[in-house]
Amino acid sequence: MNLGISMFFERYKKIIVAFILIVLLFALGGIIVPNFLTVEQVLFTLKLASFTALFALCQMIVIAAGGSGLDLSVGYAATLTAVLTASVMDGQNANLGAAILIALALGSAIGLANGALVSFLELPPLVVTMAMANILQGIVNAYTAGRNITGRPSPILATLAAKSTGKFPNILFILFTITVLVMIVLNKTKWGTILFGVGSNETTAYLSGINVKAVRCVVFVISGILASLTGLLLIGNMGIAFKDMASNYVMPSIAAVVVGGVSLTGGDGNYIGVILGAIFLQALTNLLIAFGLGDAGKWLAFGIVLYVLLSFYASDRRSR
């Protein structure tokens, strides 16, 4: 079935490319840097990439709904959650339930605010979520002003996020479970179809009876909730909460979506590609650190590689 195979390659072209690139990166690292290609190192890279991948899931869902969707507030949503729940958990498992409830409430509130402004007032998502990030940052700053954030995460979180079972970082299990769930929901359920329809063509979706505004609002709520829960995992991983703990994940989460081949205009959503994108970015960063280039060389190379990679990815947009 030639048509089938060629169509398969068409659709998954970018994912295949991402996968090959990752293999190349690891191979390169393995050759040049001692110990780069050990199982521990690879798993460590995957572990770090998991957090980016979780934030990237937030982005992917928002982006998939179309309308130039983007969520720049995921970083501070996670940070605020971590900061607020740190003292609630206080190092006890008993309080984890309360912490989770707080995370859910906070994430929903943030997402609802974002969603209402974007969907019902039709304000641009880039600006709204950027402003929301500022607002959340202000709250974090005000809350932590002058005092250190005391409070340790519940041990369960530390186990899930920081520790490993044997050689396998536990967070990879979480990521795997989430991936399976996400792929099933997106591809096999009506909600996935509705999401892709709304992102593909909102007018057609609307005339087919879908409440487009509600969908576009709900995706922000989902993003907010996911970001907040990821905040719990972050504090579990790091052991403490601090002001900038998630800021460095925001832009890479968007980059992971692009590198993963998901269209920024919406209607598309292959989480596996996005995860590969996150892994690629993390592997690249680790490789550059391992090269011993120091900060200057590391960032310069990172920027150049990303720029070059993007120029190939965007090639199909160039044909007129």
Partner 1 sequence: MNKNNQNSSRPALSNYVFRPEFSSLLILIVMFTITAILQENFFTLKSIVRNINAFAPLILLAMGAAVVIISGGIDLSAGSALSLFTCVLTTVMKKSDPITGVYAILVTLAVAILVGVVNGFGIGYLRIPPVIVTFATSYIWLGIGLFLRPTPGGESVEWFRIFYNPGMIEGIHPYIKQFGRVIPPALILILAACLIWFIVSKTRIGRHIYAVGSNSESAYASGINTAKVQMQACIINSIFIFLAALFFVGQNQSGDARMGDPLTLRAIASAIVGGVAISGGKGSVYFALVGALILNFVNKIIFFADISTAYQTLVSGLIVIIAIAAPVAYTLYSKE
Partner 2 sequence: MIVLEAIGIKKNFGGVVALSNANLRCYQGRITGLLGANGSGKSTMSKIICGVYQADGGEIKYKGRTVRYRSPSEARKDGIAMVFQNLSLVADLTVWQNIVLGKEESNGIFLNNDSAKELSRKILAQLLPDLDINKKVSQLNPGEMQIVEIAKAISQNPQLLILDEPTAALEQAQVKNLFDCMRALAKEGVAMIFTSHRLWEVMEICDDVTIFRNGENVATIDFEKDEKDPEKIISYITGDTQKTKVEKKHVAVTDETILSIKNLNYGKSLKNVSFDLKKGEILGIGGLAGQGQLELMHALAGAFHSLHCDAELRGKKIKLNRPLNAIKEGIVFVPGDKQLEGLFLKRSVLFNMIFPKMGLPGHPSFIPYDEYRRECEEIVEVLSIKTPTVDVPVENLSGGNQQKVVVGKWLPFDINVLLLADPAKGIDVGAKRDLYQYIVNQVQEKNTSVILYASDNEELVEYCDRVLIMYEGQIVASLEGGDINQDTIIACSMRLR
Distance CA 40, CA 168 (A): 8
- Tell which positions 273-312 bind partner 1, by CB under 8 A: 294-304, 306-307, 310-311
Distance CA 281, CA 275 (A): 10
Tokens of 211: 């409440």
Residue 206 is a binding residue for partner 2 (CB under 8 A):
yes
Could you tell me which residues are beta bridge partners of residue 168?
165
Return the residue of 68, 150, 177, 189 that touches partner 2, per CB under 8 A: 189
Taking the complex as a whole, how short is the minimal distance between the CB of residue 255 and partner 1, in angstroms?
6
Return the residue of 174, 193, 247, 251 that touches partner 2, per CB under 8 A: 193
How far, CA to CA in Å, does 76 sit from each of 110, 228, 251?
Answer: 10, 9, 12
Q: Are 36 and 73 in contact (CB under 8 A)?
A: no
Q: Are 58 and 271 in contact (CB under 8 A)?
A: no
Q: Phi and psi for 164 in degrees, rounded to 5?
A: -125, 155
Return the residue of 72, 175, 194, 217 that touches partner 2, per CB under 8 A: 194
Residue 88 is a binding residue for partner 2 (CB under 8 A):
no
Taking the complex as a whole, how short is the minimal distance between the CB of residue 219 and partner 2, in angstroms?
16
The listed partner (partner 1, partner 2, none) that binds 298, CB under 5 to 8 Å by sort, is partner 1
Taking the complex as a whole, how short is the minimal distance between the CB of residue 288 and partner 2, in angstroms?
36
- Tell which positions 84-143 bind partner 1, by CB under 8 A: 117, 121-124, 126-128, 130-139, 141-142
The listed partner (partner 1, partner 2, none) that binds 147, CB under 5 to 8 Å by sort, is none
The listed partner (partner 1, partner 2, none) that binds 3, CB under 5 to 8 Å by sort, is partner 2
Q: Phi and psi for 168 in degrees, rounded to 5?
A: -85, 115
Distance CA 262, CA 187 (A): 15
* CB proximity list for 283: less than 8 A, separation 6 or greater: 22, 25, 26, 29, 45, 49
The listed partner (partner 2, partner 1, none) that binds 189, CB under 5 to 8 Å by sort, is partner 2
Q: Which of these, 125, 115, 110, 126, lies nearest to 77 by C-alpha position?
A: 110
Distance CA 317, CA 253 (A): 22
Query: What is the contact surface with partner 1 in residues (CB under 8 A)?
Result: 68, 70, 117, 121-124, 126-128, 130-139, 141-142, 144-145, 251, 254-255, 258, 264, 294-304, 306-307, 310-311, 313-314, 317-318, 320
> In the complex, which residues of this chain contact partner 2 (CB under 8 A)?
3, 7, 188-191, 193-194, 196-197, 200-201, 203-211, 267
